[in-house]
């Protein structure tokens, strides 16, 4: 995407954000009986006439904002999300919808690049990272139904919505596996396998990130209270955000590849039902009762959040379902303290982070602590301790068939 096209996309995204905020203000102002889709549609049509810069947003994209806003309220009423709120300029992700797939007119230039039409932007080149049903491969059952433009610290990206017809997968015939998640060893399996990763940024990138953070701190120190951020400081912030986004993308890539391999290898993946939100609570305490080891707990919380255990479980849930397998959850207490050889449980069995030594005089087994926990997780599943989901909620939800690609 050229700089001129990027500016057009920015204008459309800010117009879409403004449209959302206007809808939110309209919703709060109207009585309940007048909060209908027809009245909201009439309101945004009038807003597009009265506010000039909203015209840069295509009409179909404005309708997509309207449908998304009403769907957000439905999700709130069903208990799936919080209530919609105001979208701030600096804290919101810039997005633009292209609801009609026929408007894209996608063509493949060669192996790495493709071209797509974006309304009121023009012909844009994007990196071809996934197979798309275009040309002779497109039919009524396999076709592109739309797209969404998303901007992050690395620039604008395009994700295509693809409708495909998939066969019901056959029952997976692979073995069952228990999975223990951690920080030192991200994923330890009950059969002795481990999945590990290094730092997401190279040494050179980490040194550059540290230098940029120090530069930002120096420039921020000279800014007066309430003074607007200078262009140099904002440019430094953008460079920091770019490096962090690169690390985040590498982490997500590792998670996708790892969970895909596990889903293909095993019929049942068993994980702990961890309350991650409770695990990462701050230890700061109150003024009357201050916490202890606050800095150490903060570092642990950052490490837990960085591993994104919840996202790993989410990916495994739909990927195992696609392969004909299942994902099960078991209670988490005592999986790290129980001996998988004799079943004896004691708090002092874990000698170190990596070593487990059974304190039972008749056993004395020792081995890797993470693999021991994974074997206990699998044992709980086989003995019928798998948690049953709440009534009315599915065990596994299949992710939408979205074909992401990077716009350039």
pLDDT tens, residue by residue, 67-113: 999 999 999 999 888 999 999 887 888 999 998 888 888 988 888 99
Domain layout of the chain by residue ranges: 1-165+399-408, 176-324
Backbone angles phi, psi at 206, to 5 degrees: -65, -40
Whether residue 312 contacts residue 255, with contact meaning beta carbons closer than 8 Å, is answered with yes
404 pLDDT more than 80: no
**Burial (CB count <10 Å: 0-12, 13-18, 19+), residue 151:** middle
Q: What is the percent of the chain where pLDDT is above 90? A: 44
What sign for the dihedral angle of Cα 309, 257, 248, 185? Answer: positive
Distance CA 301, CA 403 (A): 33
403 pLDDT more than 70: no
289 pLDDT more than 80: no
Q: What is the DSSP string of 73-88?
A: HHHHHTTSSPPP----
400 pLDDT more than 60: no
220 pLDDT more than 90: no
Helix (H), strand (E) at residue 377: helix 369-382
Helix (H), strand (E) at residue 302: helix 294-307
The string of pLDDT tens digits covering residues 240-284 is 999 999 999 999 999 999 999 999 999 999 999 888 888 777 777
Backbone angles phi, psi at 119, to 5 degrees: -55, 130
407 pLDDT more than 60: no
pLDDT at 288: 67
pTM attached to this predicted model: 0.80
Average pLDDT, the chain: 86
pLDDT at 72: 93
Mean pLDDT over 23-40 rounds to 91
Map residue 220 onto helix, strand or coil.
helix
């Amino acid at each position: 995407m050229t700089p001129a096209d990027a500016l057009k996309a920015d204008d459309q995204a800010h117009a879409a954000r403004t449209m959302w905020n206007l809808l939110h203000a309209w919703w709060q102002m109207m009585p309940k009986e007048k909060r209908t889709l027809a009245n909201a549609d009439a309101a945004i049509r009038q807003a597009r006439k009265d506010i000039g810069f909203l015209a840069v947003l295509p009409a179909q994209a404005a309708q997509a904002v309207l449908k998304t806003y009403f769907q957000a309220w439905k999700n709130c009423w069903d208990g799936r999300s919080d209530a919609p709120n105001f979208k701030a300029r600096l804290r919101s992700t810039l997005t633009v919808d292209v609801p009609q797939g026929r408007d894209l007119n996608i063509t493949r230039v060669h192996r790495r690049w493709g071209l797509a039409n974006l309304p009121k932007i023009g012909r844009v080149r994007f990196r071809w990272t996934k197979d798309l049903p275009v040309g002779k491969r497109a039919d009524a059952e396999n076709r592109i139904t739309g797209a969404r433009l998303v901007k992050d610290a690395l620039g604008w990206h395009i994700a295509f919505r693809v409708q495909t017809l998939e066969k019901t997968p056959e029952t997976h015939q692979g073995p069952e596996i228990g999975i223990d998640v951690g920080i030192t060893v991200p994923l330890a399996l009950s059969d002795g396998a481990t999945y590990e990763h290094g730092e997401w940024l190279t040494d050179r990138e980490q040194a550059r990130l540290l230098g940029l953070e120090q530069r930002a701190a120096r420039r921020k120190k000279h800014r007066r209270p309430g003074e607007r951020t200078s262009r140099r400081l904002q440019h430094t912030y953008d460079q920091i955000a770019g490096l962090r986004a690169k690390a985040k993308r590498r982490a997500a890539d590792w998670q996708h590849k790892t969970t895909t391999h596990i889903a293909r290898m095993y019929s049942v993946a068993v994980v702990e039902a961890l309350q991650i939100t409770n695990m990462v609570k701050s230890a700061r305490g109150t003024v009357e009762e201050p916490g202890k080891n606050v800095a150490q707990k903060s570092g642990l919380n950052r490490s837990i959040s960085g591993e994104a255990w919840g996202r790993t479980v989410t990916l495994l849930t739909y990927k195992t379902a696609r392969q004909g397998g299942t994902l099960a959850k078991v209670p988490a207490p005592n999986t790290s303290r129980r001996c998988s050889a004799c079943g004896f449980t004691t708090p002092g069995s874990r000698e170190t982070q990596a070593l487990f030594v059974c304190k039972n005089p008749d056993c004395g087994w020792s081995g890797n602590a993470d693999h021991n926990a994974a074997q206990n997780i699998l044992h709980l599943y086989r003995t019928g301790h798998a948690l049953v989901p709440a009534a009315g909620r599915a065990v596994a939800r299949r992710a939408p068939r979205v074909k992401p690609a990077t716009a350039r």
